[in-house]
Structure 1
Amino acid sequence: MKKLMNDSRYVVEEMVEGYVKAHPDLIKQLPENDRALVTAKETREGKVGVLIGGGSGHEPGFLGYVGEGMADGVAVGNIFASPSPDPILEVTKAIDKGAGVVYLYGNYAGDVMNFGMAAEMADLEEDIEVGMALATDDVASAPKEEKEKRRGIAGEFFIFKATGAAADFGYNLEDVVRVAKKANENTRSMGVGLTPCSLPQTGEPSFEIGDDEMEIGLGHHGEPGVEKGPLQSADEVTERLVNDILEDIEINSGDKVAVLVNGLGSTSRMELYTMFRKVEQMLSELGIEIYRSYVGDYITSLEMGGASITLMKLDDELIKTIDHPVNCPMFVQK
Structure 2
Amino acid sequence: MQTKKIINDGNRAVDEMLEGILAAHPRHLRSADGSPRSIIARDGPRPGKVGLVIGGGSGHEPTFLGFVGKGLADAAAIGNVFASPPPDPILECAKAVSCGAGVLFMYGNYAGDVMNFDMAAEMAAMDDIEVRTVLTTDDVASAPRDQRQKRRGVAGNFFIFKAAGAACDRMLSLDAVERIARKANDHTFTMGVALSPCSLPQTRRPNFEIGADEMEIGMGIHGEPGIARGKLGTADAITDEMLDKIFAEMAPKRGDKVAVLVNSLGSTPLMELYIMNRRVKQRLDEIGVFIHASWVGNYCTSLEMAGASVTLFHLDEELQTMLDHPCDCAMFRAG
Name the SS of the counterpart of 1:207 in structure 2.
Answer: coil
Q: Report deviation, 1:44.
A: 2.2
Q: Which residue of 2 aligns with 1:163?
A: 164
- Find the counterpart in structure 2 of residue 13 from structure 1: 15
- Contact 2:217 2:226 survives alignment (8 Å): yes
User: Could you tell me how far apart the structure 1 residues matched to 2:166 and 2:247 are?
Assistant: 26
Aligned partner of residue 294 in structure 1, secondary structure: strand
Query: What is the aligned partner in structure 1 of residue 287 from structure 2?
Result: 286
Residues 1:207 and 2:208 aligned together: yes
1:225-263 CA-to-partner distances (Å, cap 9, x unmatched) read 000000000000000001100001221111100110000
Q: Residue type of the partner of 1:262?
A: N
Q: Measure the CA separation in 2 of the matches of 1:182 and 1:261.
A: 21
Instruction: Give the CA deviation at 1:31.
Output: 1.8
Q: Quick one: which of 37, 40, 44 aligns to 1:35?
A: 37
Q: Which residue of 2 aligns with 1:218?
A: 219
Q: Which whole-Å CA distance do the structure 1 matches of 2:169 and 2:42 have between them?
A: 16
Moved segments of 4+, more than 3 Å:
none
Does the residue aligned with 2:36 lie in a helix, a strand or coil?
A: coil
Question: What is the Cα deviation at residue 206 of structure 1?
Answer: 1.0
Name the CA distance, whole Å, in 2 between partners of 1:331 and 1:202.
Answer: 31
> What is the rounded CA distance, in whole Å, between the counterparts of 1:155 and 1:68 in structure 2?
20
Q: Which residue of the other structure, out of 86, 95, 98, is the alignment partner of 1:96?
A: 98
Quote the residue 1:119 is aligned against.
Answer: 121
Measured in 2, the distance between the counterparts of 1:239 and 1:250 equals 15
Residues 1-150 of structure 1 aligned to structure 2 (within 5 Å): 1-41=3-43, 43-124=45-126, 126-150=127-151
After TM superposition, give the deviation of residue 7 of structure 1 in Å.
1.0
Structure 1's unaligned 5+ residue stretches are none
Code of the residue aligned with 1:291 in structure 2: it is H
Partners of 2:61 and 2:264 in 1: how far apart?
Answer: 11
CA RMSD of aligned residues (A): 0.7
Partners of 1:176 and 1:32 lie apart in 2 by 29
Distance 2:317 2:261 in 1: 19
Which moves more between the two structures, 260-269 or 28-37?
28-37
Q: How far apart, CA to CA, are the structure 1 residues paired with 2:44 and 2:302?
A: 31
What is the deviation of 1:170?
A: 1.1
Q: Report SS of the residue matched to 1:140.
A: helix
Q: Tell me the TM-score normalized by structure 1.
A: 0.99
Q: Contact 1:265 / 1:301 at 8 angstroms: preserved in 2?
A: yes
Whole-Å separation in 2 of the counterparts to 1:279 and 1:131: 35
Q: Aligned residue for 1:234?
A: 235
Q: Write out per-residue CA displacement over residues 170-189 of structure 1, whole angstroms, 9 at most, x where no aligned residue.
A: 11011101111000000010
TM-score normalised per structure 2: 0.98
Deviation of 1:42 (Å): 5.5
| CA drift at 1:25 | 1.0
Q: Is the 8 A contact 2:44 2:70 kept in 1?
A: no
1:178 counterpart residue number: 179
Aligned to 2:256: 255
Cα-to-partner distance string for 1:192-220 (whole Å, 9 max, x where unaligned) = 00010000111110110011000000001
Deviations 1:114-161 (CA, angstroms, capped at 9, x unpaired) = 00110011012x100001100000010000011111001000110110
Secondary structure of the residue that 2:149 maps to in structure 1? helix
SS in 1 for 2:274: helix
Distance 1:206 1:156 in 2: 23
User: How much has 1:32 moved relative to structure 2?
Assistant: 2.2
1:131/1:174 contact within 8 Å kept:
no
Q: Which residue type is aligned with residue 94 of structure 1?
A: A
Contact 1:133 1:180 (C-alpha < 8 Å) held by counterparts:
yes
